[in-house]
A and B are shown apart, each in its own frame.
Chain A
C-alpha cells in the first residue's frame, strides 16, 4: 500500500513532466483543464490533431499501445501518470475519445493484425476523428434491438438504416458501426461490427441541437452504404461482444472525465469563500459545507476506486464491470455540484456570462451538460442492472425477447 511513485514511476513522471513543460503552457491558478470537445470549432479540432501528432512524434501517444502501432508499449500505471501530468498543462479539448479511447481498445481486443496495422498508427497520430454509430431511434438502452441492416453482396456489406446520438459524426473520418446481419436469429446473435469510412456515399450526418445550444451530436442516415468485408471486426453474428468492449471503454473514458470532480470541488470552495450573504462568506454556512463535503467525498471515492482498478490491472487482474461505478457516481454528482454552485449565487446563478472566466465558471453550462453523462454510454439504470447482475449475481429479469427471432420481437407502434 503506497500512493507514492516507485523509483521507476518517478523517473517516468519526471521525463513526462519535462517534455510537457517544454512543449505546453502550465495551467494558470484556477484554470480548468479542457474537457471533451464539442466539435464545432474547426480550428480547435486542428489544434487537437497537432497536439496529438507532437505527442506521437515524441513517443507520448497511447502509452499502453504496442510501439509498432504508434504507442509506447507502456504500462497502465505509466498511462495514468501521463494523464496526471498532461492535466497540469493547457491542452486542446479531447476530440479522440471515440477513436483512441474506444476504437483503439476494441481493435486491440478483437481486430486482426492487418486491421490493427491499418488503423492504429494513424489513430495514435491524431490523423482520424472517430464516431460511434450505435444507438438508433428504436434502440437506446436496449442497444441490441438495433435495426440498421447489412446485407452481404460479394466482398461488401450494403448498409441501410438510421443511427442516433453520434457525437462528431458530421466531422468524423471513421465510424464504429453495429448492424443487423441476420433478423432470423435471436437479437444478440444477429449483430455484426463494421468500421465505416464516413465519406462513403450514402452517409448523411445531420447535427442535432442539444439543450446546451451546441450541436455536436448527430442523426446519421445510411442508405445503401457499401462497406468492404475487410472492415468487419470479429465474426459475422458476433458483433455484440465486440460492441461490449467498446462500451466498457466508453464508460471508463466517461467515468475518468468525471473525476475532474475534484477540480470542480475546488471551484465550489472558491465560490463559497468569495460569495457572501448577510452573515458573511457562504463557506461559514454549515449546510453549504455539508453539501460541498458530499460532493468531495464522492469525487475522491471515484478517484481512489480508479487507483484500486489500476493497481489490479498492474497485477494482471482484468478490469471488470465494476468500472461502471465511476460513471454512475460521477454523472449524478456533477449534476448536484453544478446546481449547488448555481444555488450559491442566488438569482445570479441564472445569469449566463457571455465569456466565463475562472472567477465565473460556467456552472450553468455544466448543469445543462450534466444530464448527458447520466445517459451516454449506458444510462444510470443500465449501469445499475450491470452491477446487480454481473457483480452481485442477481438473477436476470424474465424477458419476452428471449429465444425468438429478432423479427418476431414485439415493438412499439411507433416503430412497428
Chain B
C-alpha cells in the first residue's frame, strides 16, 4: 500500500502552480469577476500549452496520456487559484463523457481539439428552477434533432460543444453549439468568475452519445468520476481559505494581542483544518478508485464529494468570518471564495443528494 501521490504525479501540478501564481493572482480572477469576459482566455491558452485539458486523454486522441492522479492534483491547483476557466466543464465532464461513451469517430472528431483546449465543451442537465435532480426533463432528441431548453449550463456561453441530457435522461446527446437552432442566453452567475447560461435548442442538429436507454447509467458514471476531480478543486479552495484566515489571525490584533491567540478562533480554525484533512483523505481514496478503475468508485466518489463540499463551504464561511467587517466588503477577496464554494457545491447536485446516493449504494453493497 502506498496512499500518497508520488513526486512524478506532482510535476505537472508544480508547474501549474508556478504558472497560476504568475497569471492567476486574485487580481486576475477579479478581472473576470468584475469584467465583461466569461473566462480568462489568456490563462486558458497558457494552460492549454501545458496540456491541462488533455492530462488524462490518451495520446492516441491527442492527449498528454498521463492519468487521473495528475489531473486531480492539477484540479487542486486550479481550485486553489480560483482559476476563472472552464476546465471542469470541458475536461472533467464533457471530455470524460466522450471518453466513456463516444464512438471512435466521435472521439477522433472532438477529443484532440478538446485535449488541446481548442474546443470548450460542457454538460447540460437541469432545465427549470422548480425541477431538480433529473425530474421532468423535457428536452427531446429524435431523428438527429434536439428540442428543449437547458439551464443553468456552466460555461454554456463559451462552449463549442455540449453533452445534453435528453429524453427524460435515457439518452445523452452531443450538440455543437454554433449550429443552427441553438441560442445562448447568459444568466447572472452567483460566482461571476464562472459563467452560467441558458441554452435554447430548436431543432438543432445533434447526435447520440452512447446507446439509447443507457443515459442514466452513463450520466451517473460521468458524475462519479467528475465528483472526485471537483473534490480536489474544492480542497484547493478550502486550503487557500484556511491559509488566508490563519495568516490574518496572526497579524490582526485585538485587546492587545493577535486574534489568533484566542481559543475561540483557534478552535474554529482547528475545526476547519480537520474538515480539510478529512476531505483530503477521502479525496485521495476517490483518486485511487478513479485512477485504478476500482469498482469502489461509486462509494468513493460520494465520500470525496460530500467531504470536500463540506470542507470548502466551512472554510469559506469561517474564513470570511475571521476577517470581520473587512471580509464583508466587495474589495476583500473572501467573497470570491465564498461564491466559488457555493457554485462548486451545486454544480454536481447538492450534498443531500450525494448523501442519499451514498447510503443507498452502501445498502446495496452490504
Please report A residues at the B interface, Cβ cutoff 8 Å. Answer: 1-6, 9, 77, 265-266, 269-270, 273, 283, 286, 289-290, 292-294, 296-298, 300-305, 307-308, 310-312, 314-315, 322, 325, 328-329, 381, 383-385, 387-389, 391-398
Contacts and interface: CB of A to CB of B under 8 A. Distances in A.
B267 A311 contact: no
A292 B354 CA distance: 12
Give the bracket for the number of chain B residues in contact with chain A.
35 or more
A307 B356 contact: no
B8 to A, nearest CB: 11
Interface of B: 1-6, 9, 69, 242, 246, 249-250, 257-258, 260-263, 265-267, 269-271, 273-274, 277-282, 284-285, 287-288, 291-292, 302-303, 306-307, 310, 352, 354-356, 358-360, 362-363, 366
Given A1-B2, A394-B249, A397-B262, A269 B366 contact: yes
A395 B257 contact: yes
Contacts of B360: 289
A302 B269 contact: no
A298 B278 contact: yes
A293 B356 contact: yes
Nearest to B307: A297
B4 A395 contact: no
Contacts of B279: 301
A398 B255 CA distance: 12
Contact of B2 (A2, A266, A269): A2
Contacts, number: 167
Contacts of A383: 270
Contact of B303 (A9, A297, A325): A297
A312 B258 CA distance: 33
A393 B302 CA distance: 32
A393 B274 CA distance: 15
A9 B1 contact: yes
A197 B104 CA distance: 76
Contacts of B284: 1, 304, 308
Nearest to B287: A1
Q: Which 7 A-B pairs have the closest CB atoms?
A: A301-B278, A388-B266, A293-B355, A304-B281, A384-B270, A387-B270, A394-B260
Contacts of B266: 384-385, 388-389, 392, 394
A309 B184 CA distance: 49
A395 to B, nearest CB: 4
B363 A293 contact: no
Contacts of A77: 1
